[in-house]
Amino acid sequence: MFGAGGGTNSYREIEETDVILLWGSNARETHPIFFHHLLKGIHNGARLYAIDPRRTSSARWADGWLGLDIGSDIALANAVAREIIAAGLENREFIEHATTGFEAYKQALEPYTLAYAEKETGVPAHAIREMAHAYAKADRALICWTLGITEHHNAVDNVLALINLSLLTGHVGRYGCGLNPLRGQNNVQGGGDMGALPDRLPGFQHVEIAEYREKFDRLWGVPVPPKRGWHLSEMLEAMEHGTFRALYVLGENPLQSEADQALTRHRLESLDYLIVQDIFLTATAQMADVVFPAAAGWCESDGTVTNSERRVQRVRKAVEPPAGARDDIAILYDLARRLGHDWGEPQAEAIWDELRALSPVHAGMSYARLEAEHGLQWPCYDDTHPGELFLHSRLWERPVLGPRVAFHAVEHDPPVERLSDEFPLRLTTGRRLDDYNTGVQTSGYASPMRRGESLDMSPEDADRLGVRSGEVVRVTSRRGGIEVPVRIDEALRPGLTFMTPHFQDEVATNILTIDATDPRSGTAEFKAAAIRVERLGVT
Amino acid sequence: MSTDTVWFRPPPRPSHTPQPPEQPEPASVDLTIDGQAVRVPADWTILQACGSLGIDTPTLCYLENLTPVNVCRICVVELAGARTLVPACSRVVEPGMDIRTDSPRVRLSRKMVLEFLGSSVDLSTAPQAQAYAARYGACPERYGQPHAPSGPGERDAREPGHHHAPDGSAAETVAQPVKVDNDLYIRDYGKCILCYKCVEACGTDAQNTFAIAVAGRGFDARISTEGNVPLPDSACVYCGNCIGVCPTGALMFRSEFELRKQGQWDESRQTRTDTICPYCGVGCTLSLHVQDNRIVKVTSPLDVEVTHGHLCIKGRFGFEFVHGGDLKADANPEG
């Protein structure tokens, strides 16, 4: 946000904030150690509001649970904003000082009354009002979110709706105030920071700005293509149209992790050539023309990852990889040599130092400092810079330093797949505490809590359908069907069902999910499919 | 992808590096420790003040990432004018305190505590307690032969007020069978000194799960799940933060327990390497304890700001996939 793709705050700040909005995140189970910091905040007196369709284990810690209907986040956020303005609680001074577009935003909010929001979201008006007032009146307030915000067809608008709230109240750029996407994987943040985005060179330098490109051209001795590339969803679509012929997958299992599995299989099959580099022979690897066996990055090789508080951290080799498995960079260097480029000996620190020479926000992070200081937070401009505890303090400087930040009016737009008589139940997906994604890594250890996949549903829906806990049912969406046992979960409201992606080999949840994607971020609407549930052997 | 061209460039560097709000400097306090004058911040404990003078105060129930509960009484020091010895770990410094850390009274008290523990608890996997026992000349043997161990579940069934006074013919002990009820960790309460650290880590100091507490009274007191159910039936979420803080090896990785049973556990053959957890994006530091190229235990350093030494089930136990075995062919997806 605001030109820097990372959460604005450090974990320690949530221990000393006053109000926390945990929006579309079950951090208690998906980011357990972050939640330790959040709990310290609660013990220190912070009020927590959990905005989640499910009454999750995180929500049980909240002062207020706003159990909204799936995909109604913008209706809720806009109603919060409208209420803040109606009650005169907006931060006028900050709005005038550091933002643009307020009047247009205010006008766009006009239809989002509490009554409208109650109708659209299912959250009682008084609960929305209470949260709006608590957030606006707090001295310090933080918003944290995860995939409940971003796995929607309008992911970017959802994020913008939350950013608007922080601008409206001046809850950004100060200690204990800000906006924090909690990253789902140990180096999602680092991947983006390093330029694994279609439009950015490392350090958020846009590829369409010549000045940045030339820096890389000079060091690498080859011209960097001057136009942005495709994100994952665009690539998958292009495969189908025959304009994308070869794919090199490193450490990912798209066949099982992408929405709409049948469609994904068809797309991968239409490639001329598929290379997979992974630590296991994944379902995707089994489709590949060539498989490069890789070492496990986190314990069989050296390098860095970056966490959700922008902290670059060292990973270190602790064990030797199995025979034949090699460090990712060694494989890439050998490939380069075969393609006619000798890059010398692969060394993680040398690659990092090259990055530091090109990305100003990483310039001060030598390996020696990363070791000595348990990692450093970007931006870290030089050898003496301590790294930034929180971002965007410039917005409070007088006069404001750099560009002002804009309000973006966004409109409520429900999930692509509407409920119907044929598909009357909403299916949403997410993680559990002890398992992870498609289960590759977690299937290796014996969690006493693991109970396999289930279709979780409310007691009311189970009653209505006449199904018992543990009964195997047929679940069907417009894309396909699977069989799965039912689990009754009082944390779910009537009409809402829940599954995980953890047991894809036994229950392929992503046969059901929809690949409706946000054209800007490329994320699929994993959070909102429409399904029906039928008892087996009953007609 | 951003379409807002103004953000094609990273935002400018602020004029001042962002800082947390300034805290008022704590007042300082002058006191005397073993005849040395020392000035320390007013919110320090006696333990911290001793540490600043290089005095090694023994502790068993204290850990810097937990709230002091001052139950083990081994850190006691003599405070001039005080009727009783005071626990250094939790007593905050006061102006003019005159403290002795190695007086005969202090040494005797520490020795007695270690003898009581040594006579009643198996300290074979508690190197720190063993070292203290040697330092203070503790002789637990003088309490006589240990009593026969309790049978399975016997101590757990004891109710307050229902036990019989010992006849003095043998040393009372907490010896009992090891509880092995899951694949991740074991509970060997014959090694438990009731330091409360596991209860604290499971409670408000870290995990806030409250799966365990102290049940019973007096010598029958023990750590228990609610209703003494096995761990899989309890509120436990297997974060293992209780193992991380246990000072005696009463709580132990199943992997370590099995290797010890086979006589294969050998810390002299182990390396310890810090890296970052491969799961979610919080970025927890994992210390991998490796023996014969296999990860045998995972801890986290106390002084790392991200974890303060605490982990979740995946970080602490989810490493087996590295070593292959009967894994499904599967891999790391987007998320």
| CATH label of the domain that carries residue A523 | 2.40.40.20
Res B26: pLDDT: 87
HSE-up (13 A, CA, CB side) for residue A219 = 12
Q: What confidence tier does B10 reach under pLDDT thresholds 50, 70, 90?
A: confident
Look at chain A and count its residues.
Answer: 539
Q: Using an 8 Å Cβ cutoff, are A76 and A382 in contact?
A: no
- Kindly state whether residues A211 and A348 are assigned to the same domain: yes
Domain containing residue A143: CATH number: 3.40.228.10
Alpha helix locations (H) across A221-292? 232-240, 254-257, 261-269
Residue A418 inside a domain? The answer is no
Q: Distance (Å) from the C-alpha of residue A122 to the closest C-alpha of chain B?
A: 28
Q: Which residue has the tokens 């604290």?
A: B200
Look at chain B and count its residues.
Answer: 335
Q: Using an 8 Å Cβ cutoff, are A253 and A283 in contact?
A: yes
Is A4 touching B (CB cutoff 8 A)? yes
- Residue A368 pLDDT > 50: yes
Which chain B residues have a beta carbon less than 8 Å from that of A313? 276, 283, 285
Q: Which tokens sit at B131?
A: 């070292």
Tell which wins on pLDDT, B10 or A264. Answer: A264
Is A270 touching B (CB cutoff 8 A)? no
Q: Distance (Å) from the C-alpha of residue A320 to the closest C-alpha of chain B?
A: 7
Residue A196 inside a domain? The answer is yes
Res B7: pLDDT: 80
Which chain B residues have a beta carbon less than 8 Å from that of A403? 6-7, 11
How many beta-carbon pairs under 8 angstroms link A with B?
306
Which chain B residues have a beta carbon less than 8 Å from that of A520? 1, 3
- Kindly state whether residues A149 and A100 are assigned to the same domain: yes
Disruptive mutation site among B1, B187, B205, B236 for chain A (greatest number of A CBs within 10 Å): B1
Res B3: pLDDT: 60
Residue A3 inside a domain? The answer is no
Q: Using an 8 Å Cβ cutoff, are A510 and A260 in contact?
A: yes
Residue A4 inside a domain? The answer is no
Q: Using an 8 Å Cβ cutoff, are A64 and A521 in contact?
A: no
Residue A454 DSSP label: -
Q: Which residue has the tokens 């300034």?
A: B22
Task: Note down the domain range covering A126.
Answer: 11-177
Nearest to B288, CA basis, from B257, B261, B323 = B323
Question: Cβ separation of B329 and A386 shorter than 8 Å?
Answer: no
Using CB atoms within 10 A of its CB, is residue A496 exposed (0-12), middle (13-18) or buried (19+)?
buried
Residue A486 inside a domain? The answer is yes
Residue A414 inside a domain? The answer is no
Q: Reply yes or no: is the peptide bond before residue B232 cis, omega within 30 of 0.
A: no
Res B327: pLDDT: 37
Domain boundary among the residues A359, A377, A395 is at A377
Residue A207: closest C-alpha in chain B: B8
Is A203 touching B (CB cutoff 8 A)? yes
Is A196 touching B (CB cutoff 8 A)? no
- Kindly state whether residues A234 and A315 are assigned to the same domain: yes
CA A167 vs. chain centroid, Å, equals 21
Q: Distance (Å) from the C-alpha of residue B327 to the closest C-alpha of chain A?
A: 6
Is A308 touching B (CB cutoff 8 A)? yes
Question: Cβ separation of B10 and A31 shorter than 8 Å?
Answer: no
- Residue A440 pLDDT > 90: no
Domain boundary among the residues A349, A377, A405 is at A377
- Residue B335 pLDDT > 70: no
Res A538: pLDDT: 64
Residue type, B11: P
Q: What confidence tier does A143 reach under pLDDT thresholds 50, 70, 90?
A: very high
Set out the domains of chain B in order of their start, with CATH numbers.
28-108 (3.10.20.740), 152-157+172-323 (3.30.70.20)
Q: What is the 3-state secondary structure (H, E, C) of A300-357?
A: HCCEEEECCCCEEEEECCCCCCCCCCECHHHHHHHHHHHCCCCCCCCCHHHHHHHHHH
- Kindly state whether residues A266 and A322 are assigned to the same domain: yes
- Residue A521 pLDDT > 90: no
- Residue B289 pLDDT > 70: yes
- Kindly state whether residues A444 and A357 are assigned to the same domain: no
Residue A269 inside a domain? The answer is yes
Res A135: pLDDT: 98
Domain boundary among the residues A339, A355, A377 is at A377
pTM for this one? Answer: 0.95
Is A436 touching B (CB cutoff 8 A)? yes
Is A36 touching B (CB cutoff 8 A)? yes
Res B334: pLDDT: 35
Is A359 touching B (CB cutoff 8 A)? no
- Residue A344 pLDDT > 70: yes
Tell me the pLDDT tens digit for each residue of B302-320: 999 999 999 999 999 999 9
Mean pLDDT of chain A: 95
Question: Cβ separation of A251 and B238 shorter than 8 Å?
Answer: no
- Kindly state whether residues A318 and A228 are assigned to the same domain: yes
- Kindly state whether residues A431 and A311 are assigned to the same domain: no
Is A184 touching B (CB cutoff 8 A)? yes
- Residue A14 pLDDT > 70: yes
Question: Cβ separation of B283 and A388 shorter than 8 Å?
Answer: no
Res B169: pLDDT: 85
Question: Cβ separation of A307 and B276 shorter than 8 Å?
Answer: yes
Question: Cβ separation of A401 and B15 shorter than 8 Å?
Answer: yes
What does the pLDDT average to over B140-165?
88
Q: What are the CA-CA distances from residue A85 to residues A47, A78, A90 (Å)?
A: 21, 11, 6
Question: Cβ separation of B328 and A440 shorter than 8 Å?
Answer: yes
- What is residue A385's three-state secondary structure? coil
Res B326: pLDDT: 40
Res B328: pLDDT: 38
Question: Cβ separation of B285 and A505 shorter than 8 Å?
Answer: no
Of B3, B275, B314, the CB nearest to A299: B275
Residue B233 DSSP label: G
Domain containing residue A249: CATH number: 3.40.50.740
The DSSP line for B121-133 is S--TT-HHHHHHH
Q: Which residue has the tokens 């000996």?
A: A345
- Residue A5 pLDDT > 90: no
Nearest to A372, CA basis, from A354, A386, A355, A389 = A386
Res B325: pLDDT: 54
- Kindly state whether residues A46 and A192 are assigned to the same domain: no
Tell me the pLDDT tens digit for each residue of A211-240: 999 999 999 999 999 999 999 889 999 998
Nearest to B13, CA basis, from A401, A185, A156, A356 = A401
The DSSP line for A239-250 is HHTTS--EEEEE
Q: How many domains does chain A have?
A: 3
- Residue A260 pLDDT > 90: no
Interatomic CA distance for residues A303 and A353, integer angstroms: 11
Q: What confidence tier does B330 reach under pLDDT thresholds 50, 70, 90?
A: very low
Least confident of A1-10, A340-349, B184-193, B284-293: A1-10
Question: Cβ separation of A319 and B14 shorter than 8 Å?
Answer: no
Q: Distance (Å) from the C-alpha of residue B142 to the closest C-alpha of chain A?
A: 43
Which chain B residues have a beta carbon less than 8 Å from that of A317? 273
- Kindly state whether residues A70 and A101 are assigned to the same domain: yes
Res B2: pLDDT: 52
- Residue A139 pLDDT > 60: yes
Question: Cβ separation of B288 and A299 shorter than 8 Å?
Answer: yes
Which chain B residues have a beta carbon less than 8 Å from that of A360? 10
Nearest to A502, CA basis, from A456, A447, A449, A452 = A452
Residue type, A57: S
- Kindly state whether residues A207 and A309 are assigned to the same domain: yes
Question: Cβ separation of B285 and A374 shorter than 8 Å?
Answer: yes
Of B9, B20, B280, the CB nearest to A3: B9
Residue A50 inside a domain? The answer is yes
- Kindly state whether residues A213 and A236 are assigned to the same domain: yes
Q: Distance (Å) from the C-alpha of residue A40 to the closest C-alpha of chain B?
A: 8
- CA torsion B154→B157→B159→B162, rounded to 10°? -40
Of A198, A296, A379, the CB nearest to B13: A379
Tell me the pLDDT tens digit for each residue of A282-320: 999 999 999 999 999 999 999 999 999 999 999 999 999
Q: What confidence tier does A522 reach under pLDDT thresholds 50, 70, 90?
A: confident
Q: Using an 8 Å Cβ cutoff, are B205 and B66 in contact?
A: yes
Is A271 touching B (CB cutoff 8 A)? no
Residue B206: closest C-alpha in chain A: A36
Mean pLDDT of chain B: 93
What does the pLDDT average to over B220-242?
96
Res B95: pLDDT: 98
Interatomic CA distance for residues A503 and A511, integer angstroms: 12
Disruptive mutation site among A10, A33, A315 for chain B (greatest number of B CBs within 10 Å): A33
Sign of the Cα torsion A517, A521, A523, A525 reads: negative
Is A474 touching B (CB cutoff 8 A)? no
- Kindly state whether residues A86 and A199 are assigned to the same domain: no
